[in-house]
Amino acid sequence: MSNSWQDSSVPSFQRWLEADPGPVAWVDAQARFGAVNRRFAEWFGVNADDLVGQPRATMLSRLLTPMADDAGAYDPLLLADPPLRAVTVRLAPRAGETDGWRYVSVALTDDDDQVLGWRDCLEPPGMTAALAAGEEQRLADRDRLAARVSHELRTPMTAVIGFCHMLLEYSNPLDNSQRSYVQKILRNASILLQLLNNVLDTASLREGGLSVCWELIDPEVLMVDAASAVEPQHCEKDLDLDVHVDADLPDFYSDRLKLKQILINLLSNAVKYTERGGVQVDARLVGESVEIRVTDTGSGIAPDQLERVFEPYVQVPGAAAASKTPSTGLGLSIARAMAELLGGTLTAESTLGRGSTFTLRLPLHMTLPEVSPPSAPTPA
């Protein structure tokens, strides 16, 4: 496969949903599910086609179980005309979980407060629950503040991204200058959202708040999703982004969200430090391992700095000059930590001035490992 993720037959609005690392849905102005990503449908244990076009109130009343003391917060989602404010509902824990997920709905409105739709998502237990329960006292001051601020900024940032896609897809035709401005807003908002997610992931990793949720993964679909997530960045630089998956690489068990986050961080890093040429992604079967290589034609890394790039908050000498993109220095450290959480490794090799290659190796699980993911909620 090469560049198939750019297939024009796939609406970019749907690609935006699939590029989101979590379960997310678009609800139209009539409070009906207009589009959902695969993770959103899978969380409920239904097919995406069973949700699209259905009234949100009808589906949520059947499929969601809120915490008893959150019933009042849940009621607005069951109204035909929900309020404009963001609605957050804590859900009862599912089988195998100690904390429940959160259902978050954010309204997108125009200047006249007319509802254009909603962005609904499911946030996993862990960091949010820990903060709410007061466990933030165990975090260092820097990590605690960064995590709290990042969490609060994530909702408005996703709204900005949603508005950009609406302008590009559903508004009156934009002229070339207007489209260019919106695309730049989208690119920068996407970068900022990734930075926020990296800060939250770092705090969760420090606290041991991340666990593995095993599921069967189609490697080609995974690569398409990850490539779509960095589309705004690489398109603005006019870089090539080629993705190839060997035909003999079978579906395998891993954690879809964490694996996708690793790939997004690797691809974003490659695009960030590449000004000419492009990025190549290759996935193949090597013995009993899945090997994914991300190669760029960027500025490269000095041999004595290769291991330092995996340290949190570290930017190696020359990195700032090589890229004007803001960075927390967390992307590669998170990628390696998540790779190890999945039982794999992440290594780097590079030549100054000629580019770098990051290699992710994961064990090939052809059957479901012993620890199973939590089961989907039982419809009411």
Burial class (CB in 10 A: 0-12, 13-18, 19+), 198: buried
Which pair of tokens denotes residue 115?
A: 């509802």
The reported pLDDT for the residue numbered 373 is 43
The reported pLDDT for the residue numbered 129 is 44
The reported pLDDT for the residue numbered 95 is 76
The reported pLDDT for the residue numbered 257 is 83
Q: What is the dihedral of CA 192, 193, 196, 202, to 10 degrees?
A: -120
Question: Which DSSP letter does residue 343 get?
Answer: T
The reported pLDDT for the residue numbered 178 is 85
The reported pLDDT for the residue numbered 150 is 59
Q: Hey, what CATH class is 4-206 in?
A: alpha beta
Measured distance between the N- and C-terminal CA atoms of the chain, rounded to whole angstroms = 42
Q: Any idea which fold 215-363 has?
A: Heat Shock Protein 90 (3.30.565)
The residue with tokens 């609904």 is: 120
Q: What is the dihedral of CA 152, 257, 292, 13, to 10 degrees?
A: -80
Sequential DSSP letters for 134-192: TGGGGS-HHHHHHHHHHHHHHHHHHHHHHHHHHHHHTSSPP-HHHHHHHHHHHHHHHHH
Is there a contact between 39 and 63 (Cβ–Cβ < 8 Å)?
no
What residues contact residue 85 under an 8 Å CB cut-off, 6+ apart? Answer: 107
**130 three-state secondary structure:** helix
Is there a contact between 126 and 257 (Cβ–Cβ < 8 Å)?
no
| Closest among 63, 67, 68 to 78, alpha carbons compared | 63
How do the domains of the chain map onto residue ranges?
Answer: 4-206, 215-363
| Closest among 69, 121, 124 to 100, alpha carbons compared | 124
Return d(Cα 102, Cα 268) in angstroms, integer: 28
The reported pLDDT for the residue numbered 344 is 95
For the range 60-66, what are the long-range contacts, defined as Cβ-Cβ under 8 Å and sequence gap of 24 or more? 60/103, 61/380, 62/379, 62/380, 63/377, 63/379, 63/380, 64/89, 64/91, 64/103, 64/377, 65/91, 65/92, 65/377, 65/380, 66/90, 66/91, 66/92, 66/103
Question: Tens of pLDDT along the chain (380 residues)?
Answer: 444 344 444 455 666 777 677 899 988 888 899 889 988 999 999 998 899 999 998 898 888 888 877 777 778 888 766 666 678 888 888 877 777 888 988 887 766 667 778 889 898 875 444 444 444 444 455 555 555 655 666 677 777 878 887 888 777 788 888 888 887 787 777 777 776 776 666 666 666 666 788 899 999 999 988 888 887 777 778 888 999 999 999 999 999 888 988 999 899 889 888 988 999 999 999 999 999 999 999 989 888 888 888 887 666 655 544 455 555 567 888 899 889 999 999 999 999 888 999 999 999 998 888 654 444 444 44
